[in-house]
Amino acid sequence: MNNLLIPSSTALRVGTRALLRLSSTSAANSNRIWIGRSAFRTQSPARIRKLTRDFCSRSVPDVRRLAETARITLTPEEIEEVGPKIQQVLDWFGQLQAVDLENVEPAIRADTEGDNLRDDVPEVFENREAIIAAIPSYEEPYIKVPKVLNKE
Amino acid sequence: MASTLCRVIQFHTHHFFSSPAVLFRRNKAGMMYCTMKSTQSPDATRELKMPQAKVAPDNYRKLDKVTEGFEAVIGLETHVQLNTVTKAFCSCPYSYGSQPNTNICPVCMGLPGALPVLNAKVIECAVKLGLALNCKLAFASKFDRKQYFYPDLPKGYQISQFDIPIATGGYIDVDLPLEFGGGHRRFGITRAHMEEDAGKLLHTGNSSFSQVDLNRAGVPLLEIVSEPDMRTGVEAAEYAAEIQRLVRYLGISNGNMQEGSLRCDVNVSVRPIGQLEFGTKVEVKNLNAFSAIGRAVDYEISRQSLLYSKGQGDEVVQETRLWDEGSQKTVTMRKKEGLADYRYFPEPDLPEVILTEGYVEKIRQSLPEIPEAKRRRYEEMGLGMQDVLFLANDISVANFFDTTVAKGVDVKLAANWIMGDIAAYMKDEKVSIGEIKLTPDELAELIKSIKDGTISGKIGKEILFELIAKGGTVKGLIKEKDLVQITDAGEIEKMVDQVISENPKQVEQYRGGRTKLQGFFAGQVMKMSKGKANPAILNSILLEKLNSSS
Ligand SMILES: [Zn+2]
């Protein structure tokens, strides 16, 4: 729920997340298409472009299904409102797909400048009380949630 | 306290199915060694209460009939929790058994704006395991988000590795337990990847609420996926036991199944022999012991075979089943409606994971001898398979043995002492080999002192228990207690004479044909000498005296 409602630090992340939700609305292979460029490695550039074009052109966002996947409840008005916004994000990505990448080596990640690693040294977070205080339903020492027995 | 107990129980992990049978056998010197053939599994506390749970060879014969004409295809997914000090993507310390919800911070709680930073140690552990599993390493791999909703997953996604795992295409060698016919097997490893653990969800009583403890959320895991190379429950269980051995040898995890540091899910399908395509795959979870893996797999094989042979093959459906220890059956947990859609995508908050040749090479050089290499080396040293499997099972026992043997003592004698009296003591006192006061150096000294005749085997055994319980040195104890063996024939003869003269009735009986009484006389002389008389000299003098004067 946080994912969709709380603005992320960059526009790109918003876009990625929106697409992520969308991927579940389309055919099974869309899941593979959107796992990142690395998944394209075995595909020819022409094939990739065709797949992504297909994806962007066919999708009219099924907001109801998206909301279900994200486990959020939307009113009919909200569905009305969100639909075109998501379509807009899709259109941006449609534009990105038009870029000619014929001679570009696929990259695993966009930002590959150096490692950003941490030593295995413990540091206790000091404001634990604030975290605990923000938990909607807490019964010392556990977080209380509605009973769920099955995953998925 | 709990950890002590676990370590003890783990020491006894020889093989998963086993009876705590203790065999006695006589060695050349006539001394009794008690040898544990095999003891209970590390997770035996539960099994011990359920003797009916043991899979006896009989059950296998029964199983054979049902499964005739069918072949099982088995693969395992194993999660290994790493023993890093901190979590995978934040600096929260993690230790099993902490107060719930104390090891938490904005990152592992999934609070907005918090960013993950990878613990370098996680990569090191992954590379160690990848190399030990003979895998190909990805010099550039990445993290992905696996999306699902569950209360133990604060972020709504798990950071994992999807399409580019850090290690792929390896294998692991195992030796099957002798009680199941033994034999060497090589099982393929599909991949191993890094990911984070979820929190713990506790369902208590009939309340409509569940409790969540997020201490474990974000703790690093390595998931190891095997090729579907196993065909029996024994093979599946031994594969899992070997993974436990391996991670303990590598020092990357405590491999403790009860604490959930080693978790195995098993995929089982059955097909008619000769058929190429796989049968419908059933996943079995809730396997908290190696023995449970073996039994659950065998149960599934016979359940599925039975359905196929009755023409009810359509009742074998792709589903997740739970192993129920009480009824010794698997039960449906959930049917799978199509594959779960985790909507993987690359984790935007983490850079790719880059390995350099130099880094990998350095780790390769630092790898310890892995269990398979140790077993083969012990075999070459001339040890029997039973000894090999026992000694190599636990790294601390193996290290104790290696250090003892390095002092130049006889390999077989060292093995006998460790597997016999020392193992028996550890079992009785519930301590690990690291907790006993006896050092490998002193064990070597003890073996030498017996071999060169300084002390008798009997005295050696007495000193051993003192060394184990209180420590000290062999030389010190021999001096302090005046234990040097009596080899002076004259001195022994005096004692023999005295015993014979003090027991005229027994002498009469002996000479009347009850020659078994020799043992009685020998015992009396030994007692008189406080166990110090050389047994060979004693017996030859005694026999001579008893037989000659008639
Ligand atoms: Zn944390």
Paired strand residues for B32: B26
The torsion of the CA quartet B408, B414, B415, B421, rounded to 10 degrees, works out to: -170
Binned average pLDDT, 10 residues per bin, chain A of 152 residues: 34 36 36 35 51 53 83 90 91 88 77 78 96 94 84 44
Q: Cα angle at B82 between B235 and B351, to 5 degrees?
A: 115
pLDDT at A49: 54
pLDDT at A111: 60
3 state SS of A138: strand
Residue B368: asked if its preceding bond is cis (omega within 30°), the reply is no
**Phi and psi at residue A145, in whole multiples of 5°?**
-130, 155
How far apart (Å, rounded) are the C-alpha atoms in residues B27 and B133?
A: 39
How far apart (Å, rounded) are the C-alpha atoms in residues A132 and A134?
A: 5
For B34-69, letters b (16+ CB in 10 Å) and e give ebbbbbbbbbbebbeeeeebebeeeebeebeeebee
> Can you list the pairs that B338-343 forms with residues at least 24 positions away whose Cβ atoms lie under 8 Å?
B340/A152, B340/B148, B341/A24, B341/A31, B341/A69, B342/B146, B342/B147, B342/B148, B343/A20, B343/A21, B343/A23, B343/A24, B343/A31, B343/A34, B343/A69, B343/B147
How far apart (Å, rounded) are the C-alpha atoms in residues B521 and B311?
A: 73
Report how far ligand 1's centroid is from the alpha carbon of B133 (Å): 30
Residue type, B384: G
Query: Is B300 an interface residue toward A (CB < 8 Å)?
Result: no
How far apart (Å, rounded) are the C-alpha atoms in residues A120 and B148?
A: 28
DSSP type of residue B86: B
Q: What is the pLDDT of residues B87-125, one digit of tens each?
A: 999 999 999 999 999 999 999 999 999 999 999 999 999
- So where are chain B's domains? 72-354, 369-481, 489-547
Report how far ligand 1's centroid is from the alpha carbon of B245 (Å): 29
Q: Tokens for B193?
A: 């990847």
Q: Domain for residue A67, yes or no?
A: yes
Report how far ligand 1's centroid is from the alpha carbon of B138 (Å): 27
Tell me whether residues A123 and B211 touch, CB distance under 8 A: no
Tell me whether residues A2 and B112 touch, CB distance under 8 A: yes
Q: Domain for residue A88, yes or no?
A: yes
Report how far ligand 1's centroid is from the alpha carbon of B365 (Å): 33
Query: Is B123 an interface residue toward A (CB < 8 Å)?
Result: yes
Q: Is A121 exposed, middle or buried (0-12, 13-18, 19+ CB in 10 A)?
A: exposed
Cα distances (angstroms) measured from residue B515 to each of B296, B507, B512, B527, B534: 56, 10, 8, 20, 21
Q: Which residue of B has its CA nearest to A9?
A: B113
Q: Quick check: B465 and B433 in contact, CB under 8 A?
A: no
How far apart (Å, rounded) are the C-alpha atoms in residues B181 and B15?
A: 13
Paired strand residues for B331: B322
Q: What is the pLDDT of residues A46-85, one digit of tens each?
A: 555 555 555 444 456 788 888 887 788 999 999 999 999 9
Q: Quick check: B161 and B142 in contact, CB under 8 A?
A: yes
Q: Quick check: B281 and B268 in contact, CB under 8 A?
A: yes
Query: Is A129 an interface residue toward B (CB < 8 Å)?
Result: no
Q: What is the pLDDT of residues B240-297, one digit of tens each?
A: 999 999 999 999 999 999 999 999 999 999 999 988 899 999 999 989 999 999 999 9
Q: Quick check: B139 and B354 in contact, CB under 8 A?
A: yes
Q: Which residue of A has its CA nearest to B82?
A: A120
| ipTM metric | 0.77
Tell me whether residues A35 and B345 touch, CB distance under 8 A: yes
Residue type, B410: D
DSSP type of residue B497: H
Tell me whether residues A117 and B85 touch, CB distance under 8 A: no
Query: Is B151 an interface residue toward A (CB < 8 Å)?
Result: yes
Please report where in the chains the tokens 């406080």 appear, as a residue: B530
Tell me whether residues A145 and B343 touch, CB distance under 8 A: no
DSSP type of residue B420: I
DSSP type of residue B410: -
Q: Quick check: B360 and B128 in contact, CB under 8 A?
A: no
Paired strand residues for B145: B159, B345
Q: Tokens for B102?
A: 């104390």
How far apart (Å, rounded) are the C-alpha atoms in residues B512 and B29?
A: 29
How far apart (Å, rounded) are the C-alpha atoms in residues B162 and B151?
A: 22
The minimal CB distance from A141 to the residues B100, B346, B353 is found for B100
A:B CB pairs within 8 Å? 165
Q: Which residues in chain A are contacts of B99 at CB distance < 8 A?
A: 141
Q: How many CB atoms lie within 10 A of CB A65?
A: 13
How far apart (Å, rounded) are the C-alpha atoms in residues B15 and B385?
A: 13
Q: Domain for residue A44, yes or no?
A: no
Q: Which residues in chain A are contacts of B348 at CB distance < 8 A?
A: 12-13, 16
Nearest-10 crossing angle of helices B440-451, B395-406: 50
pLDDT at B14: 42
Give me the tens of pLDDT residue by residue for chain B, a chain 550 residues long: 333 333 333 333 444 443 333 333 333 333 333 333 333 333 333 333 333 333 444 455 555 677 889 999 999 999 999 999 999 999 999 999 999 999 999 999 999 999 999 999 999 999 999 999 999 999 999 999 999 888 999 999 999 999 999 999 999 999 999 999 999 999 999 999 999 999 999 987 778 899 999 999 999 999 999 999 999 999 999 999 999 999 999 999 999 999 999 999 999 999 999 888 999 999 999 899 999 999 999 999 999 999 999 999 999 999 999 999 999 999 998 775 555 678 899 999 999 899 999 999 999 999 999 999 999 999 999 999 999 999 999 999 999 999 999 999 999 999 999 999 999 999 999 999 999 999 999 999 999 999 988 888 888 998 999 999 999 999 998 888 777 888 889 999 999 999 999 999 999 999 998 989 999 999 999 899 888 888 889 999 999 999 875 5
The domain of A70 spans: 56-96
Q: Domain for residue A64, yes or no?
A: yes
Q: Mutate which of B344, B350, B354 to test chain A, going by most A C-beta atoms within 10 A?
A: B344
The minimal CB distance from B156 to the residues A3, A13, A36 is found for A3
Q: Which fold has domain B489-547?
A: Arc Repressor Mutant, subunit A (1.10.10)
Instruction: Identify the CA nearest to B77 among candidates B165, B200, B182.
Output: B165
pLDDT at A113: 63
Q: Which residues in chain B are contacts of A113 at CB distance < 8 A?
A: 351
β-strands B70-81, B262-272 pairing: antiparallel
